[in-house]
Every structure is written in C-alpha cells, then in structure tokens.
Amino acid sequence: MDHKPILCLDFDGVCSMYTSGWVNAWTIPDEPVPGLFEFLEEAFKHFRVCIYSSRSEFAAGRDAMHAWFKANAIEYFMYQKETEGAPREAALKFVNKLEFPVSKPSAFVTLDDRAVTFKGTWPEVTTLRGFVTWNDHLIKRAPRNTVVSNG
C-alpha cells in the first residue's frame, strides 16, 4: 500500500482547460492545462494523486476523465516527452498511477481553481461574489445576465 500523502486535483480548470464550459459529466472537449503532465511526473514522486470533480459522482464521469487522461497522456508521450520504449505503454502506465475516487478524498492538499484558502478569518461575502478563476477570461459562454431568445 502506498503511504504517500494524497494530493487531490480538481479536474475542470486544473487538469483540463475548461474553456468550453460545462456540457455534461461525460463530455470533456477541452485540452490539458499546459504543464499538467510534467507536474504529474514530479507529483507522483511525493503523492498519491487523486482526480476529483463534480463529474466524480457519476461512473460515466469518472470513465470520461480516465479516458481523457489516457488520450492526452498518449499524445504527450508520443510527441512531447522522450520515452524509452513504446510511448503508448508508458502513457498507460502513467495514467494508471492516477486515482479517480467517487467521493472527495481526505487529502493532504488540494489544487482547485474554484476555492479560497480559509485562514481562520471569514472573508467578506462581496469578495466571494467577485471571485474569478485563473482562466475566466478564456471561457466561452454567454455573458452573464444575458437572455437568449429563439425568435
């Protein structure tokens, strides 16, 4: 059993660019955040890495995240990383190190694009209402408070 501490990574906006916005739990149209696979290579040396998302409660969501990692890891190992031997096998071995829990794990630390670190002092609600993600300017969606009409 691996006794390393758990690093929990949110999926959308941390692993995946999440610029297309939410489609459903099993549809993931976006590319990886640049540097993801290099980061994971180092993280595996120190942590058990769990991928957790609002998709995680659905088997199809967990399967989609796993398939997304497989497809993108294969591309990474084929075109971006120098690999001894077969890149596909290296990619699958890499992805098999990831865990996809159904519920939020008891992590040592979590990386999430939609979280604020609580430091013992309650934030102003107006601060929370103004929260934006690191990639908010890239997200493709209708402007807020816009009414879309069909005619």
Amino acid identity, position 35 = G
What are the pLDDT tens digits along the chain (151 aa)?
568 999 999 999 999 999 988 889 999 999 999 999 999 999 999 999 999 999 999 999 999 999 999 999 999 988 877 667 688 888 899 999 999 999 999 999 999 999 999 999 999 999 999 988 888 877 765 444 444 444 4
Q: Where are the domains of the chain?
A: 6-138
Which residue do the tokens 């290579």 mark?
Answer: 41
So what's the pLDDT on residue 146? 42
The pLDDT, as a whole number, for residue 136 is 81
Q: Residue 68: CB partners within 8 Å, gap ≥ 6?
A: 16, 28
